[in-house]
C-alpha cells in the first residue's frame, strides 16, 4: 500500500503540466462490468470528467504495485470508454488485484479488478448495468436510480433550426450520446440541452448516468428555403453552410479616403437578435458579408450559442482560404461524408488542429483556449507576425494549458483576444459564436 501511495504522488507530478481547476474538477467513474477478469479479456473503463485526466494501471501488490503504464485521456475519450486489452501471458499480466487510478491534480477515483486464470461466466448475464451498450441500458432496477426527465422526448425541427430542452435531474453530470452526428448536433450546458438540425433524417439523443438514461427522438425535415446547393441535405451544416448572404456585400466605391475599406455599417443587419449596440456586431456582419459565417436561419444569428470544434475550424478555413484534397480521413470520428470533412482535414494538414489519439471530437464544444490556439496557428500559417507579451497577467494563468499559453498571450498583445474580465481568461469556458466571429474578424484586419 505504501508503494501505491508513492505511485500516486508520482502521478501528481506527471499531471502537473495539466491545467488544474481546483474545486471545478470532477471525475466520476462507472463501475467495471466484472469484478474478476481472465487474461485475454478486454476491460472497459468509462466515466465522466470535465478536464484531461491521467489513467494509471498498477500491478498487484505482491508483484510490486508498480505502474504498468500511465496515459493521458480527454473527457470525450473517457466518456466513450477506454478499452484495456489484457494479454494471456501470465508474466506480463500476473494473477492478483490490479488497480486503476484516474486522476487530475488532487482529484482522483480508483477501480480494482482481480485478474485470474479462469472465470466461470455461465451464470452471468451478457449485458448488465455496468456495460456500455450502443443504446444505454435502463439501470439495474434498484431504488437508487437517478431520475432524468427531458422537457420533450419527441422533437421535429426544420433543417438549420435550433431548439433547447430543459432536463430535470438531480445528477451532477450527464453523459451525452448522439446516434447520428450528421443529422443533428447537440450540447449540454448545465441542465439545458441545445439541439441543432443539420440535415434531413432522424437521430436519437441519449442522456445517461451510470444507472439510468433518457432518450430524445429528433426528426429533421427539409428547410422551407431548400438546401444551399440544390437541396443537398447530406453535406450541409446550419451555422457554416455555404449559402449566399441575404444582402449584397459592401461595394468598393471610393470615399473621401480611398485607401480606407468600406465600413461594416454598409452591410444591412438581417438578424433580429443582434442589436446595434452588441459588442461583436461589426465582426459578425463582416464575416457574414464575406460568406464566412451565416445565421442559424434567415432572421437569427444566436450570438451567445456555443461553437463546436467542427464549426470553428470551418470558419477558420473559410477565412484563410485553406483547402484539402485528401479523400481519406485522418480521424476515426470524422467521416468522409460529413459536412465538416474538408474543413477538418484542411485544419489538420495545416497544423491548426491535430485532434486527440486518432479522434477529432467534431461535436465537442470548443473551449476558449482551443479557440485561441486554432486561430493563432491559422494566423501564423497566413504570415501574421506576433510578439509574445506578458505571460502571467491573467489571475487564472495556471489554468491555461501549456500548449495554449503562447497563443493566448501573443494574441492578447496584438489586441485580438481579451479576457472574460479584466483579470481572468477562463480557458475552459466554452466559446460563443460572437467570440469566434470577433477573433476571426480581428485577424483578418491584420492579415
Instruction: Quick: pLDDT tens for 113-122.
Output: 999 888 877 6
* One domain for residues 290 and 345: yes
Say if 129 falls within a structural domain.
no
Spatial neighbors of 378 by CB under 8 A, at least 6 apart, are 316, 317, 319, 320, 322, 347, 350, 352, 443
Say if 141 falls within a structural domain.
no
Say if 277 falls within a structural domain.
yes
The number of domains in the chain is 3
Average pLDDT over every residue of 134-148: 48
Q: What is the pTM of this model?
A: 0.46
In terms of average pLDDT, the best of 251-260, 265-274, 386-395 is: 265-274
Give the domain range for residue 440. 237-445
- Edge-to-edge strands of the sheet including 192-197? 148-150, 162-169, 192-197, 184-189
The CA distance from 381 to 10, in Å, is: 38
- Identify the helix (H) or strand (E) that includes residue 103: strand 96-104
* One domain for residues 287 and 422: yes
Say if 336 falls within a structural domain.
yes
Average pLDDT over every residue of 198-226: 76
* One domain for residues 68 and 209: no
Average pLDDT, the chain: 78
Q: What percent of the chain has pLDDT over 90?
A: 20
CATH number of the domain residue 205 falls in: 2.60.40.1080
pLDDT (0 to 100) of residue 224? 45
pLDDT (0 to 100) of residue 266? 58
Say if 142 falls within a structural domain.
no
* One domain for residues 329 and 410: yes
Q: Which residues pair with 100 in a beta bridge?
A: 57, 111
pLDDT, one tens digit per residue, over 277-313 is 899 999 999 999 988 998 888 888 989 999 999 999 9
- Cα–Cα nearest to 369, from 15, 18, 13, 16: 18
* One domain for residues 109 and 256: no
Q: How many residues does this entry show for the chain?
A: 447
pLDDT (0 to 100) of residue 210? 62
* One domain for residues 414 and 275: yes
Say if 123 falls within a structural domain.
no
Q: Is 409 within 8 Å of 425 (Cβ atoms)?
A: no
Spatial neighbors of 259 by CB under 8 A, at least 6 apart, are none
pLDDT (0 to 100) of residue 371? 94
**And the C-alpha cell for 276?**
446595434
Say if 287 falls within a structural domain.
yes
* One domain for residues 372 and 343: yes
Tell me, what DSSP letter sits at residue 217?
E
pLDDT (0 to 100) of residue 252? 38
439 pLDDT above the threshold of 60: yes
- Identify the helix (H) or strand (E) that includes residue 445: helix 433-445
CATH number of the domain residue 109 falls in: 2.60.40.1930
Phi-psi region of 201 (alpha: psi -120 to 50; beta: other; left: phi over 0): left
- Cα–Cα nearest to 180, from 162, 206, 208, 153: 206
* One domain for residues 92 and 215: no
325 pLDDT above the threshold of 60: yes
* One domain for residues 306 and 342: yes
Q: Is 429 within 8 Å of 420 (Cβ atoms)?
A: yes
**And the C-alpha cell for 389?**
507579451
Question: Where residue 139 falls among pLDDT bands split at 50, 70, 90?
Answer: very low
pLDDT (0 to 100) of residue 11? 52
The region of weakest confidence among 118-127, 203-212, 367-376, 394-403 is 118-127
* One domain for residues 276 and 401: yes
Say if 143 falls within a structural domain.
no
pLDDT (0 to 100) of residue 312? 94
Phi-psi region of 419 (alpha: psi -120 to 50; beta: other; left: phi over 0): beta
143 pLDDT above the threshold of 60: no
Amino acid at each position: 500500500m505504501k508503494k501505491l501511495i508513492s505511485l500516486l504522488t508520482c502521478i501528481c507530478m506527471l499531471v502537473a503540466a495539466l491545467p488544474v481547476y481546483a474545486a471545478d474538477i470532477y471525475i466520476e467513474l462507472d463501475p467495471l462490468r466484472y469484478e474478476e477478469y481472465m487474461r485475454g479479456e478486454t476491460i472497459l473503463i468509462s466515466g465522466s470528467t470535465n478536464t484531461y485526466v491521467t489513467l494509471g494501471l498498477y500491478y498487484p501488490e505482491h508483484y510490486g504495485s508498480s505502474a504498468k503504464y500511465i496515459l493521458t485521456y480527454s473527457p470525450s475519450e473517457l466518456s466513450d470508454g477506454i478499452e484495456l486489452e489484457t494479454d494471456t501471458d501470465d508474466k506480463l499480466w500476473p494473477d492478483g488485484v490490479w488497480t486503476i487510478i484516474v486522476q487530475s491534480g488532487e482529484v482522483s477515483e480508483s477501480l480494482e479488478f482481480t485478474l485470474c486464470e479462469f472465470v466461470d461466466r455461465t451464470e452471468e448475464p451478457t449485458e448488465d448495468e455496468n456495460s456500455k451498450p450502443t443504446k444505454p441500458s435502463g439501470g439495474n432496477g434498484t431504488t437508487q436510480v437517478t431520475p432524468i426527465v427531458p422537457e420533450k422526448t419527441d422533437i421535429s425541427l426544420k433543417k438549420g433550426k435550433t431548439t433547447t430542452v430543459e432536463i430535470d435531474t438531480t445528477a451532477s453530470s450527464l453523459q451525452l450520446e448522439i446516434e447520428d452526428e450528421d443529422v443533428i448536433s447537440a450540447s449540454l450546458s448545465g441542465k439545458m440541452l441545445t439541439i441543432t438540425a443539420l440535415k434531413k433524417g432522424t437521430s436519437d439523443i441519449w442522456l445517461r448516468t451510470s444507472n439510468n438514461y433518457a432518450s430524445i427522438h429528433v426528426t429533421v425535415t427539409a428547410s422551407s428555403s431548400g438546401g444551399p446547393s440544390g437541396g443537398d441535405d447530406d453535406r450541409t451544416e446550419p451555422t457554416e453552410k455555404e449559402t449566399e448572404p441575404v444582402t449584397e456585400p459592401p461595394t468598393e466605391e471610393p470615399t473621401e479616403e480611398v485607401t480606407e475599406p468600406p465600413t461594416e455599417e454598409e452591410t444591412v443587419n438581417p438578424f433580429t437578435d443582434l442589436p446595434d449596440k452588441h459588442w461583436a456586431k461589426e465582426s459578425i456582419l463582416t464575416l457574414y458579408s464575406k460568406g464566412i459565417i451565416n445565421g442559424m436561419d434567415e432572421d437569427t444569428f444566436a450570438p451567445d450559442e456555443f461553437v463546436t470544434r467542427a464549426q470553428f475550424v470551418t470558419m477558420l478555413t473559410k477565412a484563410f482560404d485553406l483547402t484539402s484534397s485528401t479523400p481519406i480521413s485522418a480521424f476515426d470520428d470524422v467521416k468522409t461524408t460529413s459536412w465538416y470533412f474538408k474543413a477538418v482535414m484542411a485544419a489538420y494538414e495545416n497544423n491548426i488542429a491535430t485532434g486527440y489519439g486518432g479522434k477529432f471530437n467534431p461535436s465537442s464544444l470548443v473551449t476558449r483556449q482551443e479557440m485561441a490556439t486554432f486561430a493563432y496557428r491559422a494566423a501564423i500559417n497566413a504570415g501574421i507576425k506576433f510578439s509574445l507579451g506578458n505571460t502571467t497577467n491573467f489571475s487564472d494563468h495556471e489554468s491555461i494549458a501549456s500548449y495554449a499559453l503562447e497563443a493566448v498571450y501573443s494574441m492578447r498583445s496584438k489586441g485580438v483576444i481579451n479576457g472574460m474580465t479584466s483579470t481572468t481568461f477562463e480557458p475552459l469556458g466554452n466559446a460563443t459564436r460572437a467570440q469566434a466571429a470577433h477573433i476571426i474578424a480581428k485577424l483578418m484586419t491584420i492579415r
